[in-house]
Structure 1
Amino acid sequence: MDGATTETYRGTVYPWHCDHVGHMNVMWYVGKFDEATWQLFGMLGLTPQWLREHGRGMAALDQRIAYQRELRAGDLVVVRSALLEVRDKTLRFAHVMHDGVGGHVAAITRLVGVCVDTAARRACALPDAVRERAHGMLQPAFALPWND
């Protein structure tokens, strides 16, 4: 990863995160990526408080995960994130999960999120300030392990 990505999560794999063969279960990868997503959204100004106060929400339209290497109980985890694309209503972004000590990549996910009006239950434009911040964080050349 280059220095342009942003750390959005730091944590630990606990024994109850592991499956019957001793690896962190896929549901916990998704959970840790979700926590990273909310940190990234917060950096853009899409905090839970702002979303509630303005009748807005964020919903996932697409998520792809590439599992690269297992994590086990006791492993330290770091997620770094990059914004790939900003549109009127959507954000496309990626998270890379690393072993916090060895640095190897454990998993990569790519997501597309849409801003929604929670009363109308329809997609709506992202706030101008959010799009402006997001444009300042764009990393469109970020390499992913699949073709879009």
Structure 2
Amino acid sequence: MSNRAPVIYSTQIKPEWLDYNNHMNVAYYVLIFDLAGTELVSQLGLSVEVTKATDISWMVLENHITYNAEVVLDQPVEVRLQLLDHDEKRLHLYFELYAKNSDGTEYLSSTLEQMAMCVDLKARRGCAFPAEIAANIQQVADRQAQLAMPENIGRKIGIRKK
């Protein structure tokens, strides 16, 4: 068993994602993490098609993002996802965005800690995950049970005083 969370999403940095500093703009990091989250819930059984048929979906409650190192045009990246915790209607998730260098090495570019919730779109309120999806979430939790808790979970933003 690997001591790293599994890759949930991969892509390459697109020209329209660059800013005037000639690296990826901060907004597109969130887009990549959102695409990875969409892939996760789809794999759990809560795809767009299921949402359209049932009016059950997911929404993000909170994000904490770090920008560790820049990524540039055409650079391949992959997102690793760890399920930190869950209950009947919430997921505590941790994403890591790794950028690939041309020599095959990689580096941690960004992280995202997220709280997401299952929602009933008719009521516009949180609800329990359907039983089949809850079972799939538990399977992910069981597979990832031996992964270490990431060091920067629950970070607080502020200026460190000397």
Q: What's the TM-score once normalised by structure 1's chain length? A: 0.91
Q: 136-145 or 55-64, which moves further after superposition?
A: 136-145
Deviations 1:113-144 (A, max 9, x none): 11111111111101122122112212463304
Return the offset for 1:41. 0.6
The aligned counterpart of 2:86 is 86
Contact 2:80 2:95 survives alignment (8 Å) = yes
1:118 aligns with 2:139: no
Contact 2:118 2:129 survives alignment (8 Å) = yes
- Correspondence list, 1:1-148, <5 A: 2-3=2-3, 5-101=5-101, 102-138=105-141, 139=144, 141-147=148-154
Q: 1:41 to 1:129 in 2, by over 3 A?
A: same
Q: 93-102 or 110-119, which moves further after superposition?
A: 93-102
Deviations 1:76-117 (A, max 9, x none): 111111111111111111111001333100001011111111
Secondary structure of 1:88's partner?
A: coil
Secondary structure of 1:39's partner?
A: helix
Secondary structure of 2:70's partner?
A: coil
**Letter aligned with residue 14 of structure 2:** Y
Q: 1:130 to 1:144 in 2, by over 3 A?
A: farther
Unpaired segments ≥5 residues, structure 1 = none
**Letter aligned with residue 142 of structure 1:** M
Secondary structure of 2:65's partner?
A: strand
Higher gyration radius (CA): 2
Q: 1:3 to 1:85 in 2, by over 3 A?
A: same
Unpaired segments ≥5 residues, structure 2 = 156-162
What's the RMSD between the two structures over aligned residues? 1.6
CA distance in 1 between counterparts of 2:77 and 2:69 reads 12
